[in-house]
């Protein structure tokens, strides 16, 4: 209350009037509101000016000045409507300046902080490009190739309708070929130095992982030549015969057919022989990953220092052929119900060196192999499988290396025991379309010479 003094008695002024006091407070509020609106308008105009300056410098190629303008915007107006775009543009400016480590970190930060942004697909694309631009020659480390491939695959799967998905698909094909050429280069390196076992592993790895790349046909031919140099004539013939199944129109198809004839080995024309060769080599055909694997150490600055990343492990394995481990085979999805073992038959090659289990679907199995100087016995246990009622429990072959086999059932387990003459090696190969297991054997060199006589007579 405001008090004034007139004469000798105090009296109240008009400030005590409630109506006038309310009017006074209202005027103060209106002034504050007008001041706030003016401030916001001024901030908007200034942030627009910074953003426009940044865009001008960016579009004219002055990326350092563009970064400064965008950075001023973020520092002075962190809650501006242009903040998100400024963060992205700083990352893209660093990409244009070839500062891939900084750009990669900023692009990953952008995706993490703005997961619902309409520009996430663009950020993912340039994150992948940060790695692809660092891809070196086939004889160099391929960590950047691995990281770029993972990022492009993620982009294609996360944003299939984005215009960047088609670009990503094109880059994936290019990067797969780069990886394939790297493996081929290493294989040829070992081949030239007479380390044929190491060369065989590299060629088989390429055909397992990148069979659809342009270098695959030549690699398959080189695998056949390598196996022949190792003295594995039977396996070499299977490799050359695989051109019929995979690359019948390639430049090497006719040469491969000539090699098959000159080797004079039995060939199973009803089955894909490449699966046999890869399994024997230790690289069975594998199904694609359902989701791309995020590489440890693949992000921004960390990519430069992570020595234990999966990408580093993968590429260093390529360079160490004698210690490289083949990728584990991924079995097809096994149905929940029991599978029926419909039949057991010998392959159509002359003489046959494989036995085929015909099934109604994929099956899980384990195996045990025993051999002696005079014979070999392979036991295959099929889980959740039942034999067809018409299938005999004892089947006599007496042909080629095969003697006979027994079929036994206990609960949901069916056990097949195949007895043969002495063999050097064997492989169990799951096949699809229709589902079956092919058990193929490699006889000893002495025995193979005798078995090949029918093939010699037919040729």
* Token pair belonging to 7: 């004469």
* Token pair belonging to 42: 């001024």
CB distance 305 to 385 below 8 Å? no
List strand residue ranges (DSSP E) for 17-114, in order: none
Query: What three-state secondary structure class fits 5?
Result: strand
- Which domain, by its residues, includes 403? 339-458
* All residues at 6 or more sequence positions from 371 whose CB lies less than 8 Å from its CB, including other chains: 377, 422, 423
User: What one-character-per-residue DSSP string does 386-450 give?
Assistant: EE-TTS-SEEEEEETTEEEEEEEEETTEEEEEEEES-EEEEEEEEETTTTEEEEEEEE-HHHHHH
Whether 49 is covered by a domain: the verdict is no
Q: Which residue has the tokens 């509101």?
A: 33
Residue 29's Cβ-side half-sphere holds a number of Cα atoms within 13 Å equal to 6
Handedness of CA 58, 63, 67, 69 (dihedral sign): negative
Q: pLDDT tens digits, the chain, 459 residues: what are they?
A: 444 444 444 444 545 566 656 655 565 554 444 444 444 445 545 768 888 988 999 999 999 999 999 998 888 888 888 899 999 999 999 999 999 999 999 999 999 999 999 999 999 999 999 999 999 888 888 999 999 999 999 999 999 999 999 999 999 999 999 999 999 999 999 999 999 999 999 999 999 999 999 999 999 999 999 999 999 898 999 999 999 999 999 999 999 999 999 998 888 777 788 888 888 887 876 544 444 444 434 445 444 433 333 333 334 433 343 334 443 344 456 556 789 999 999 987 778 888 999 999 999 999 999 988 889 999 999 999 999 999 999 999 999 899 999 999 999 999 999 999 988 888 888 888 788 898 988 877 666 666 655 544 554
Please give the pLDDT value at position 265: 86
Domain count of the chain?
Answer: 1
Cα-Cα-Cα-Cα torsion 372, 375, 381, 387, nearest 10 degrees, comes to: -170
Whether 361 is covered by a domain: the verdict is yes
78-94 b/e with 16+ CB inside 10 Å = b? eebebbebbbbbbbbbb
- Identify any residues that bridge with 381 across adjacent strands, giving them in sequence order: 366, 415
Whether 399 is covered by a domain: the verdict is yes
Whether 346 is covered by a domain: the verdict is yes
Whether 445 is covered by a domain: the verdict is yes
Whether 414 is covered by a domain: the verdict is yes
Q: How many residues does this entry show for the chain?
A: 459
What is the C-alpha separation between 315 and 240, in angstroms, rounded? 28
CATH number for the domain harbouring residue 383:
2.60.40.3500
Whether 117 is covered by a domain: the verdict is no
Please give the pLDDT value at position 240: 96
Please give the pLDDT value at position 442: 81
Whether 171 is covered by a domain: the verdict is no
């Amino acid at each position: 209350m405001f008090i004034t003094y007139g004469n000798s008695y105090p009296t109240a002024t008009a400030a005590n009037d409630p109506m006038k006091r309310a009017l006074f407070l209202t005027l103060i509020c209106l002034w504050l509101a007008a001041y706030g609106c003016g401030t916001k308008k001024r901030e908007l105009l200034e942030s627009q000016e910074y953003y426009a300056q940044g865009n001008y410098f960016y579009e004219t190629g002055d990326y350092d000045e563009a970064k400064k303008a965008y950075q001023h915007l973020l520092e002075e107006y962190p809650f501006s409507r242009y903040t998100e775009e400024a963060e992205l543009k700083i990352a893209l400016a660093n990409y244009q300046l070839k500062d891939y480590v900084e750009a990669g970190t900023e692009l990953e930060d952008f995706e993490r902080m703005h997961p619902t942004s309409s520009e996430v697909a663009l950020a993912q694309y340039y994150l992948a490009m940060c790695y692809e631009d660092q891809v070196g020659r086939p004889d160099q480390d391929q960590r950047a190739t691995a990281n770029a491939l993972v990022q492009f695959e993620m982009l294609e799967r996360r944003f299939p309708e984005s215009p960047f998905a088609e670009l990503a698909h094109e880059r994936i094909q290019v990067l797969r070929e780069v990886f394939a050429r790297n493996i081929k280069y290493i294989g040829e390196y070992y081949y030239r130095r007479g380390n044929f076992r190491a060369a065989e592993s590299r060629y088989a790895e390429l055909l397992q992982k990148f069979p659809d790349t342009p270098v695959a046909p030549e690699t398959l031919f080189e695998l056949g030549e390598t196996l022949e140099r190792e003295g594995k004539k039977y396996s070499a013939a299977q490799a050359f015969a695989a051109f019929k199944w995979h690359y019948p129109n390639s430049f090497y198809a006719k040469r491969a057919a000539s090699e098959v004839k000159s080797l004079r080995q039995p060939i199973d024309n009803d089955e894909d022989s490449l699966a046999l060769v890869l399994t024997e080599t230790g690289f069975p055909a594998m199904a694609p990953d359902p989701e791309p694997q995020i590489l440890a150490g693949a992000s921004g600055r960390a990519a430069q220092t992570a020595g234990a990343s999966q990408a580093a492990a993968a590429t260093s394995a390529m360079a160490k052929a004698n210690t490289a481990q083949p990728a584990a085979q991924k079995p097809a999805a096994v149905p929940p119900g029991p599978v029926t073992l419909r039949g057991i038959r010998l392959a159509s090659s002359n003489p046959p060196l494989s036995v085929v289990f015909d099934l109604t679907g994929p099956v899980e199995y384990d195996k045990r192999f025993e051999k002696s100087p005079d014979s070999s016995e392979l036991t295959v246990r099929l889980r959740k499988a039942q034999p067809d009622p018409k299938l005999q429990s004892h089947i006599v072959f007496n042909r080629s290396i095969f003697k006979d086999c027994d079929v036994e059932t206990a609960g949901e387990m069916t056990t097949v025991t195949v007895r043969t003459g002495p063999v050097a090696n064997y492989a169990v190969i799951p096949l699809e379309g229709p589902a079956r297991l092919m058990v193929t054997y490699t006889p000893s060199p002495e025995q193979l010479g005798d078995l090949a006589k029918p093939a010699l007579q037919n040729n």
